[in-house]
Structure 1
Amino acid sequence: MTISRLSIPRRSFLSGSVALAAASALTVPAWARGGSLRHAVKGPPELSGEDINLTIDRAHFSTGGRSGHAVAINGSVPGPLVRLREGQDVRLHVTNNLDEDSSIHWHGLLVPFQFDGVPGVSFPGIRPGETFTYEFPIRQSGTYWWHSHSGLQEQAGHYGPLVIEAADGSDAQYDRDYVVLLSEFTPLHPHEVMRKLKVGEHYFNRQMQTATNGEMSGEMRREWAKMRMNPRDISDVTGSTYTFLMNGHGPADDLEYLFKPGERVRLRFINGSAMTFFNVRIPGVEMKVIQVDGQDVRDVAVDEFQIATAETYDVVVEPKAGAHTIVAEAMDRSGMGVATLTDTPGRKGLVPPLREPVTLTMADMGMAGMDEMEGMDHSMRDMSKLPPDAEPAGVDMVSPMPVDRMDFPGLGLDKVDHRVLRYTDLRAKKPNPRRKPTRRMEIHLTGNMERYMWSFDGKRFTAVTDDPIRFAYDERVRVTLVNDTMMAHPIHLHGHFFELVNGAGATDQPLKHTMVVQPGGKATFDLTANEPGDWAFHCHLLYHMHAGMMQVVTVRPFPA
């Protein structure tokens, strides 16, 4: 998506030869136009090499009739594709031209902690007018991304894709290789979005159930009201203010990905949004999942998958002749991002209508199997499960009967009539070392929706900076996350990959850096704490993190 300091509607410069000529003079990354990484259309190349320069500036962004404040990197939103190769060394020189501090976090990369890019945790941040150089070796391959970890800049456009080529040349086996970066845009300033959420957490929800809604009994409706909760409370920020984007393009921008019949096409899906879970499908086309969070997995054939904020999924498709619509429907079904996978420029596929809104269930309240509502109000506020120093004002719910929900495909996808990916489908492609955990840890995900407060174990980040989660270097720990809230949370650990405890054998557990913990449920991972330093650990829903759902993980001592 091109940005400038003037408001230029996408439709006005993407149609007509004069408009296209004007667009070519602007900084439009080739990858964002749908161009293959090896068959790029016209436009400046992605950034690669051992020295890469990035600049952060204020700008203006427009799409689909919405226009507003933006933060651009090298003159574009999203920022440029950074393309590296496994085994190289890289120096990334980042210049901050904003009037406030900024930063870049290299999401999913294994780097020395002082180059991880989290102000106040691993470095002081990049002050206005200054340049900071990140320098580290590339120890991995796969699909990743980068974004600001300063304030709410990520929501304003401070993010971009990152692809690392495998040293063994395995990436060359595909005929086409495309980045599909999912995100969203709102004309509201991010701090105004946060203010509205603090004033009323349902501000952006246009799908609230009413007193006359026939899906729920009167008694159950009264119980939900007593808890000050709504069964349609799926997403905090919705399509009422968001335009959902693919590579910075709104649905009206007609983004295309070209192919020839018979080709194998790799699609690198990255969820670079601030707050949106997407349900991804290509109607009529089977997707074969080959990589998750940059790590190889055994092939899994699916028709749809849910991708949480900060996750990446690489899929391979072999589309038949014609035009096929890539659909990224917001989890709450308030809107979608769309693009076309086509063998003929300009040929479009059918765009399916939005599906029915999702309604939460008893299982999403941590009450799986409970048919009676009586006594629920008391049990959901039992604080005995939380640490004694938890902030009672910041917790309005404790799940009474949380169960492992690793087999749950995601809100709204448990009753569809086609194949949907589940965490329990994933197996590591290469075996992991067999090593049993020597310690267990349980962490509760907590919040108060009415006050819009989010936390771990009832303690917001500002209250726990002197009390990090501690791991001994190379310690093997089994961590269980218990979601005491009615919202799904993508939890991200910086600097490490962990193994999902998903029913696979000990050596087959898949590696991830971000894991969704379903509402009212539990999820478990095994961590080998072999990256020394101080690391952020947080919910990757931007406004949840900003409101307190963040901690610091410290790994000590440093090896000799």
Structure 2
Amino acid sequence: MTMTATDRRSLLRGAAGGLGLLAAQGLVPAWARSGTPGLAPTLPTLHGPDVALRVGRSDFTLGGRTGRAVTVNGTLPAPLIRLREGQNVRLSVTNHLDEDTSIHWHGILLPFQMDGVPGISFPGIKPGQTFVYEFPVIQSGTYWYHSHSGLQEAIGHFGPMIIDPAGADPVAYDREQVLVLSDWSFLHPHEILDKLKKSPGYFNRQKTTLAGLIDGSDRMDLAERRMWGAMRMDPRDILDVNGSTYTYLVNGHGPDENWTGLFQPGERVRLRVINASAMSIFNLRIPGLAMSVVNADGVNVRPVEVDELQISVAETYDLIVRPLEDRAYTIVAEAMDRSGMARATLAPRLGMTAEVPPLRAVPNLTMKDMGMGGEMDHAAMGHGPAAGAAADHGAMDHGAMDHSAHGAAPAPDHGSHQSGGMDHSMRDRSLAPPGMAVGVGVDMIAPMPVDRLGDRPLGLEDAPHRVLVYTDLVSLEPNRDQRPPSRALEIHLTGNMERFMWGFDGRKFSEIVEPIRFERDERVRVTLVNDTMMAHPIHLHGHFFQLVNGAPDGHQPMKHTVNVAPGGKVSFDLTADAPGDWAFHCHMLMHMHAGMFNVVTVRPLDGAAR
């Protein structure tokens, strides 16, 4: 461990010293028996039922550079909050910043007034003020918390929350490690957003090149290059912000600092993995070690053994690993666009390392990512008479909408295409469903979006090992509500890449007048259609929903966040059983800030008439 990394966490020294004595006495829980020399424990822990949190600013040093972070109790990430199902908790949050702040308890079921979204569920916390969040703890699992004020989340205002079950845990394990993945830039997030507004591809340093075409390293032929060029699209526009400015962290440690979690050979180690990043989707693997997925978004699932999984922004996965050998293993969290990685180590002893694999080849987007149903023919691209068939939304129909009134889409204007514009089969306004605004905020409408829950994630299509897909997830316990949906709702995820505008149904939040309304306790089949070429992790506050992924009846996986692949669609069944006003948004922080946000309102509040 370098001196700079130790200095930046000087505030932990007191806690580390005290817990070091406890460790010698065997009193420290398994999660604390880990970390880098001088930093034990890596994650300071606060236990309920009474928790005091202070939001302020702290220096943060990485790679010899120091910046300013927004921290909770002086640490990045914020302290681990450990609660128990069945208790009542009081979380007192004092704001030491010179601006408003807040804390949202991500994935936690609670009264909406305690949800922590300024302007939606409470006014926010003014400088110098204290707000007390108080609610009963009615669930267990792996969760996290973060600011919902401005862009504070991007500069350190986030931390893990673990809730132990009231009874026996159905997941057996000997040791636990909490892994908080995040991204860090010395550019202020407002500077990052400003650069994206001016040039959406500003951070993409991995574009295709002439040299790559000649030597084959771009893995594209000349016809494909011409196609992308004609549409003025970038086949490697995968993450808006990436390793060109981000350093990827595990528990606040950069790759060179090698955060280390301990194990004894033969132990079942539970890894609670939280993606607390602002803008980064990770592909996670531990070379030489199989992983059994046992929990997704805090809810237990039937164990499924994999070698790699993708964890989108704001998702959590619990993994069981059982290292049998007396050696180190590298934990690799590779950015989806292969522009960098977070790296940590599992080892029997501190100071051990394992080989760190190199970054893999940059993936290329495909026709599926353009909402073209995976077809690579001229008809699908709008160059033939079949272009009109793109307007047939039968494949999109979940009972939500009847698009027959629109008829077939007219054939595209090839003159416009020859001028280098995007093919009209993707910009044809007749493809828009009723109610969608089709102004400047929409630069494409996916002609043939498909359910991609069973698809391997981008770049892992041909991986020579087992890769988790959403259709692998099956709830361990039966779903509490198994009623069929009484109605259906379709919501389109829309954007304009060139202007970095994002929204739902063609509107950004500042333009939205009406919230999304649900009757209390009604069952709704919600279908999200991604009309953009970017992935969007969509999060609904205050609720879990049942992912329609082909799981056995009554065992649909419960999620609060789901990644909607480019050009894809996702359906879930929602029981609107939490009265109040709830945020509903993309968890890519810059996407949310640029407009992909709305309010879900569940009424009546008290069972009485409106």
TM-score band, normalised by shorter chain: over 0.9
- Per the TM alignment, residue 174 of structure 1 is displaced from its structure 2 partner at its CA by 1.6
Matched, 1:333 2:323: no
Matched, 1:227 2:231: yes
Secondary structure, aligned partner of 2:256: helix
Matched, 1:346 2:351: yes
- Per the TM alignment, residue 14 of structure 1 is displaced from its structure 2 partner at its CA by 5.5
Matched, 1:371 2:359: no
Name the counterpart of 1:312.
316
Kept in 2: contact 1:11–1:64 (CA 8 A): no
- Per the TM alignment, residue 365 of structure 1 is displaced from its structure 2 partner at its CA by 0.5
| One-letter amino acid of the structure 2 residue matched with residue 327 of structure 1 | V
- How far apart in 2 are the matches of 1:66 and 1:239? 16
Kept in 1: contact 2:4–2:62 (CA 8 A): no
Residue 455 of structure 1 is aligned with which of 503, 506, 515? Answer: 503
Name the counterpart of 2:428.
382
Matched, 1:276 2:280: yes
Further displaced range: 384-393 or 424-433: 384-393
Name the counterpart of 2:402.
none
Residue ranges of structure 2 left out of the alignment (5+ in a row): 214-218, 384-421
| One-letter amino acid of the structure 2 residue matched with residue 476 of structure 1 | R
Name the counterpart of 2:403.
none
- How far apart in 1 are the matches of 2:54 and 2:434? 44
- How far apart in 2 are the matches of 1:452 and 1:20? 35
Kept in 1: contact 2:452–2:565 (CA 8 A): yes
- How far apart in 1 are the matches of 2:11 and 2:110? 37
> C-alpha deviations, 1:242-287, integer Å up to 9, x for none?
0000000001112111111111100000000000000000001010
Name the counterpart of 2:527.
480
> C-alpha deviations, 1:466-515, integer Å up to 9, x for none?
30000000000001111000111100000000000001123010000000
| Overall identity of the aligned pairs, in % | 59
Residues 447 and 172 of structure 1: is their aligned pair in 2 closer, same or farther, counting only changes over 3 Å? closer
Residues 93 and 242 of structure 1: is their aligned pair in 2 closer, same or farther, counting only changes over 3 Å? same
Kept in 2: contact 1:489–1:541 (CA 8 A): yes
Matches within 5 A, 1:383-398: 383-384=429-430, 385-388=432-435, 390-398=437-445
TM-score, with structure 2 as normaliser: 0.86
> C-alpha deviations, 1:358-412, integer Å up to 9, x for none?
1101111111224224537011002232445615101111111111101012111
TM-score, with structure 1 as normaliser: 0.94
Matches within 5 A, 1:503-522: 503-522=550-569
- Per the TM alignment, residue 171 of structure 1 is displaced from its structure 2 partner at its CA by 7.1
Residue 25 of structure 1 is aligned with which of 13, 38, 60? Answer: 13
Matches within 5 A, 1:20-59: 25=13, 36-37=30-31, 39=33, 42-43=40-41, 45-59=44-58
Secondary structure, aligned partner of 2:2: helix
Name the counterpart of 1:4.
none
Kept in 2: contact 1:83–1:162 (CA 8 A): yes
| One-letter amino acid of the structure 2 residue matched with residue 155 of structure 1 | A
Further displaced range: 189-198 or 385-394: 385-394
| One-letter amino acid of the structure 2 residue matched with residue 445 of structure 1 | L
Secondary structure, aligned partner of 1:364: helix
Name the counterpart of 2:117.
118
Q: Report the number of matched residues.
A: 546
- How far apart in 1 are the matches of 2:359 and 2:34? 32
Kept in 1: contact 2:34–2:261 (CA 8 A): no
Matches within 5 A, 1:389-428: 390-428=437-475
Name the counterpart of 1:5.
none
| One-letter amino acid of the structure 1 residue matched with residue 377 of structure 2 | D
Name the counterpart of 2:262.
258
Name the counterpart of 1:104.
103
Kept in 2: contact 1:68–1:188 (CA 8 A): no
Matched, 1:324 2:371: no
Computing the radius of gyration from Cα coordinates, the structure with the larger value is 2
Residues 457 and 24 of structure 1: is their aligned pair in 2 closer, same or farther, counting only changes over 3 Å? closer
- How far apart in 2 are the matches of 1:35 and 1:247? 18
Name the counterpart of 1:3.
none
Kept in 1: contact 2:77–2:251 (CA 8 A): yes
Name the counterpart of 1:76.
75
